[in-house]
């Protein structure tokens, strides 16, 4: 395994997430397979762009990573140029702790506010904001057992106050062994998802070998080598039970 290049990312989960989910082909395939069908039908995945900005506060970066995908509609809404937002913003928040965070909806609300302010500054003539589709990606060791809507954080919440409290929910992609999410997609997408699912496994070396077999199905050699180095680095650094020697010999 080659020595990893210098990077400012120190958390192995964060680095693996970004190195894979910032790949446009993986992001397109992931959204194509995991978004609800009725939403996929609205979007032109070939227009997907990936924003490099992070909306996770500095104190939370040990627990969360995030990416923003922007995708245009297949058919533009019947609005004037000034009224038409730039497609849909898909906010992917990766929770890389081993247990769920009950305050995750608060982080999603933070993104919605900050991104709305940024959009207004960048588009001063716009009359509307683009819709945001929030996704939480989770791969921890404990079951996800918290509510997925923001209002669940507000207690007590008398019926008379409900209309005045922000109301939204997020889509949970629980790829942990406890989750019931079927892992789908092309080889790159399945490899990245399985690597995250297996990272806490009691037999990480065996799981690593299974993932390497999957990488052999990638036809483009340069991509396969890049993905392999990324995977080996992740399993050496994140599991602390796979040595560099074992990774090289895998």
Q: What is the pLDDT of residues 176-230, one digit of tens each?
A: 999 888 999 999 999 999 999 999 999 999 999 999 999 999 999 999 999 999 9
132: left (phi over 0), alpha (psi -120 to 50) or beta: beta
The residue-averaged pLDDT of 91-120 equals: 92
pLDDT of residue 82: 60
pLDDT of residue 5: 40
pLDDT of residue 95: 92
Question: Highest mean pLDDT range out of 22-36, 81-95, 115-129?
Answer: 22-36
Per-domain boundaries in the chain: 12-186
The whole-angstrom separation of Cα 90 and Cα 69 is 5
Q: Is residue 200 within 8 Å of 194, Cβ to Cβ?
A: no
Q: What is the pLDDT of residues 59-80, one digit of tens each?
A: 777 788 999 999 999 876 666 6
pLDDT of residue 60: 77
Alpha-carbon torsion (193, 181, 33, 57), positive or negative = negative
pLDDT of residue 242: 87
The whole-angstrom separation of Cα 171 and Cα 149 is 9
């Amino acid at each position: 395994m080659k020595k990893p290049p210098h990077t400012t990312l120190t958390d192995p989960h964060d680095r693996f997430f970004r190195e894979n989910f910032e790949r446009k082909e993986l992001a397109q395939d992931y959204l194509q397979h995991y978004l609800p069908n009725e939403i996929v039908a609205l979007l032109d995945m070939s227009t997907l762009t990936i924003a490099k900005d992070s909306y996770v506060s500095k104190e939370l970066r040990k627990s969360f990573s995030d990416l923003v995908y922007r995708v245009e509609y297949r058919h533009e809404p019947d609005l004037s140029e000034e009224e038409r937002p730039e497609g849909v913003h898909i906010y992917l928040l990766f929770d890389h702790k081993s247990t769920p965070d009950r305050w995750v909806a608060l982080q999603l609300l933070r993104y919605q506010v900050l991104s709305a302010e940024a959009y207004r500054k960048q588009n001063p003539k716009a009359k509307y904001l683009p819709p945001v589709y929030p996704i939480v990606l989770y791969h921890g060791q404990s079951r996800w057992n918290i509510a997925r809507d923001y209002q669940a954080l507000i207690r007590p919440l008398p019926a008379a106050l409900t209309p005045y409290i922000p109301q939204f929910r997020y889509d949970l992609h629980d790829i942990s062994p406890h989750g019931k999410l079927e892992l789908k997609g092309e080889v790159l997408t399945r490899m990245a998802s399985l690597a995250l699912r297996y990272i806490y496994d009691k037999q990480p070396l065996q799981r690593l070998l299974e993932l390497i077999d999957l990488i052999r199905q990638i036809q483009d050699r340069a991509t396969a080598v890049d993905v392999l180095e990324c995977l080996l680095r992740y399993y050496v650094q994140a599991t602390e039970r796979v040595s560099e020697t074992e990774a090289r010999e895998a």
